[in-house]
Chain A
Amino acid sequence: GAVVSQHPSRVICKSGTSVKIECRSLDFQATTMFWYRQFPKQSLMLMATSNEGSKATYEQGVEKDKFLINHASLTLSTLTVTSAHPEDSSFYICSANTRTSGGAGDTQYFGPGTRLTVL
């Protein structure tokens, strides 16, 4: 399957600082990438859909000025959590679409996730 990487895998920061998370598709080009957040024992929540060269589409309730997304190339999307607070502590996971041969559409592959802890 397609490989998606994320960096860093874990970050601890002080309240008020900004944190940037990178998501890369390693062996394919992804026109669309997605950012999810998952709190402990809860299901995945889609935060935003990121398209290369255009503004991200944010889900209802997700502050676009707080969670800045940049999709500068077909293999890289970044999520910046600005002025992070303890309630932003969560598991952030990106994914990327690639067309599936013989299928009826795209398949989404996930990165390994970034665990953010805000003190």
Chain B
Amino acid sequence: QKEVEQNSGPLSVPEGAIASLNCTYSDRGSQSFFWYRQYSGKSPELIMFIYSNGDKEDGRFTAQLNKASQYVSLLIRDSQPSDSATYLCAVTLGSQGNLIFGKGTKLSVKP
């Protein structure tokens, strides 16, 4: 059974702090890794994707991938109350691009 594990949270950080969200996956053959943000009652919205080991930065967001440790993370710098949402880690499975999702980490940014 291929799995993606996330801490369900809630993770609470003060406004302006760095939020660190973590994810581990079981399938060593996974190639593509995604972070989605889902506000309550809304559908997931793509934040970032990463394919190569190391860091990838996009604005306040940095994705980190370590394939040897089967670990992917998302850092959110200068966290804002509007960042409060559930963050879903997803890993590609198979040739059709099916995604396996983690259960999500709920982030709460306190003003």
Interface residues on B, range: 20 to 34
Residues from chain B with Cβ under 8 Å of A91 in the complex = 41, 43
The answer to whether the Cβ of B97 comes within 8 Å of any Cβ in the partner chain is yes
Residues from chain B with Cβ under 8 Å of A32 in the complex = 96-97
> Which residues in A have some Cβ–Cβ distance to B below 8 Å?
1, 32, 34, 43-44, 46, 49, 51, 91, 93, 97, 100, 103-113
> Which residues in B have some Cβ–Cβ distance to A below 8 Å?
31-32, 34, 36, 41-46, 49, 51, 88, 90, 92, 96-99, 101-104
A105 touching B98 by the CB < 8 A rule? Answer: no
User: What is the bound-complex CA distance between A107 and B41, given in angstroms?
Assistant: 22
Closest B residue, CB atoms, query A51: B96
A112 touching B43 by the CB < 8 A rule? Answer: yes
User: What is the bound-complex CA distance between A42 and B104, given in angstroms?
Assistant: 9
Closest A residue, CB atoms, query B6: A43
